[in-house]
Amino acid sequence: MYSSTPELIATCWTSAGDVAPLTIPETSPVPLGERLEAIASTGWAGFGLAYDDLVAASDTIGFSGLRKLIDQAGLRHVEVELLSNWWDESRSHEWKPQFELLLEAAETLGARFIKIGTAFGEPLDDLEFLVEPLRHLTTEASQRGTRIALEPMPFSMVGSMPAAAELMRSVDMSDCGLVVDYWHVFRAGTSLDELSRSLTAEQIFGVELNDADAEIKGTLFEDTRDNRRLCGEGDQDVAGFITTLQAIGFNGPWGVEILSEQHRKRPVREALESARSTALRCFPA
């Protein structure tokens, strides 16, 4: 048993039901009230919502109504995502309205940060062009009481945690940090020793726990979307990842992000129960 149970956050896809990234739209088929009740009743401390779910909430009960549901459910942590194209002023007519809605959601819901990503493609060596756009985003987020958290992915412009950590040092703003997703760490080929050497506790705004088989199935994106395993049920060292981050100085809350065809087909409450119980078993006693 744990002397103190870690606080776990059901990141957006873990509780979304039968919907996947890049589905159009990415709106969960699970009614929001039912979803929050399932998250709270299965022992989670918080949850995340994707952009299209936030749009649906804004258009129906409003963010103030959503905040009431969150408070009634007793959930302590909220995450909102995902913004892309924020570095490209030629596409500002697309991403700036999205960013404004994410800012409004974060402000009203008390979100810990706004998660952002970069474009799919080969990782870039020179990331200097992202520094000023990140500073602008972070300034706006700070003014609304939240922060910016970049998630590196091995199939995107910012492809690894060491590269992302160096980018954060260039940005040099306390409200700009990283989401450290274990799937993206090991699929980028970053060892736990490299992770430990590159990151500081101050840079880590969020963590996402998951597992995977040693073999990649399909493209990297297809593998991350369809084949993630529950924590401890794949071939990766989830327990070692947790203890590495604890040694760096990160103490939670810990996100759990399970994305797989199998997980999506489960009833939401069952999916949430299995995601939480398997994650907890990976923590040291």
Rounded CA-CA distance 160/285 in Å is: 30
pLDDT value of residue 76: 97
Rounded CA-CA distance 244/246 in Å is: 5
User: For 138, what's the count of Cα atoms within 13 Å in the CB-facing half-sphere?
Assistant: 18
Residues 36-80: tens digit of each pLDDT = 999 999 999 999 999 999 999 999 999 999 999 999 999 999 999
pLDDT value of residue 285: 83
How many other CB atoms are found less than 10 A from the CB of residue 49? 26
Q: Collect all residues with Cβ–Cβ distance below 8 Å to 104 and sequence separation of at least 6.
A: 58, 63, 144
**Looking at the chain, which runs of residues are DSSP E strands?**
8-10, 46-49, 77-83, 114-116, 148-150, 176-181, 204-209, 254-256
pLDDT value of residue 246: 98
Contact by Cβ (8 Å): 116, 149: yes
Spans in the chain with pLDDT lower than 50: 1-3
Look up the pTM and report it. 0.96
In angstroms, how far is the first alpha carbon of the chain from the final one? 6
Rounded CA-CA distance 166/148 in Å is: 16
Among 40, 33, 97, smallest CA distance to 65 is for: 33
DSSP-assigned letter for residue 211: B
pLDDT value of residue 3: 44
User: For 27, what's the count of Cα atoms within 13 Å in the CB-facing half-sphere?
Assistant: 12
User: For 240, what's the count of Cα atoms within 13 Å in the CB-facing half-sphere?
Assistant: 12
Rounded CA-CA distance 261/31 in Å is: 20
Q: What residue ranges do the domains of the chain occupy?
A: 8-280
pLDDT value of residue 2: 38
| Token output for 252 | 């939670």
> Cα 87 vs. chain centroid, distance in angstroms?
20
Q: Collect all residues with Cβ–Cβ distance below 8 Å to 230 and sequence separation of at least 6.
A: 210, 211, 258, 263, 274, 275, 278, 279
User: For 6, what's the count of Cα atoms within 13 Å in the CB-facing half-sphere?
Assistant: 25
CA distances from 113 to 21, 169, 204 (A): 20, 18, 11
pLDDT value of residue 4: 81
SS3 state at 275: helix
The domain at 8-280 falls in which architecture? Alpha-Beta Barrel (3.20)
pLDDT value of residue 103: 98
